[in-house]
């Protein structure tokens, strides 16, 4: 299972829980399934508002991907969503948590690598920014 008592949305805890659900082939019992469901639900609930805040700063396909992921978050977390198939819900939450984690990283990169001037959507990579400024 993921890191015990980690904060919801914690980078390493999200990675560990997603890896356990999506890639680790060891079977899990009902108790571990419930614990993973609770943990991943917490990660998705913690990450989705953070990604929502970054959406205005995203562009193109990344922005469209963020919208699709956030729509799926709404679908999975909807109070009337069927919860009888725990394995399907566990898979959905793991996929969403992983996608939200990556989108949050992209959003932070955008904010941290924001260009000063023009608002041109260029790479956050400093060498790309310098080359663009030099007229290359």
Give the pLDDT of residue 45.
96
**Cβ neighbours of residue 11 under 8 Å, at least 6 residues apart?**
101
Is residue 104 very low, low, confident or very high in pLDDT (cuts 50, 70, 90)? very high
Q: For the chain, give the mean pLDDT.
A: 81
Distance CA 36, CA 50 (A): 21
Give the pLDDT of residue 129.
35
Give the pLDDT of residue 68.
96
Give the pLDDT of residue 118.
38
Give the pLDDT of residue 135.
43
Q: Picking from 2-11, 13-22, 74-83, which range would have the lowest pLDDT averaged per residue?
A: 2-11
Query: Does residue 6 carry a pLDDT above 60?
Result: yes
**Helices 86-112, 60-77: inter-axial angle, 10-degree rounding:** 150
Distance CA 57, CA 63 (A): 8
| Token code pair at residue 10 | 């914690």
Give the pLDDT of residue 113.
63
pLDDT tens digits for 29-55? 999 999 999 999 999 999 999 999 999
Average pLDDT over residues 65-79: 93
Query: Does residue 2 carry a pLDDT above 90?
Result: no
- Residue 23 has phi, psi (to 5 degrees) of -125, -30
100 exposure class (CB count in 10 Å sphere: 0-12, 13-18, 19+)? buried
Nearest-5° Cα angle at 10, 33 to 90: 25
Is residue 128 very low, low, confident or very high in pLDDT (cuts 50, 70, 90)? very low
Distance CA 80, CA 91 (A): 18
């Amino acid at each position: 299972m993921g890191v015990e008592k980690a904060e919801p949305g914690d980078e390493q805890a999200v990675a560990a829980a997603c890896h356990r659900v999506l890639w680790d082939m060891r079977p899990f019992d009902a108790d571990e399934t419930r614990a993973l469901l609770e943990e991943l639900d917490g990660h998705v609930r913690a990450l989705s508002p953070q990604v929502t805040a970054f959406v205005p700063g995203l562009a193109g396909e990344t922005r469209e991907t963020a919208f699709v992921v956030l729509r799926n978050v709404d679908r999975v977390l909807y109070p009337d969503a069927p919860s009888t198939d725990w394995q399907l819900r566990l898979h959905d939450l793991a996929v969403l948590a992983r996608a939200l984690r990556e989108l949050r990283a992209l959003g932070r990169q955008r904010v941290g690598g924001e260009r000063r001037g023009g608002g041109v959507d260029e790479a956050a990579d400093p060498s790309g920014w310098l080359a663009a400024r030099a007229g290359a």
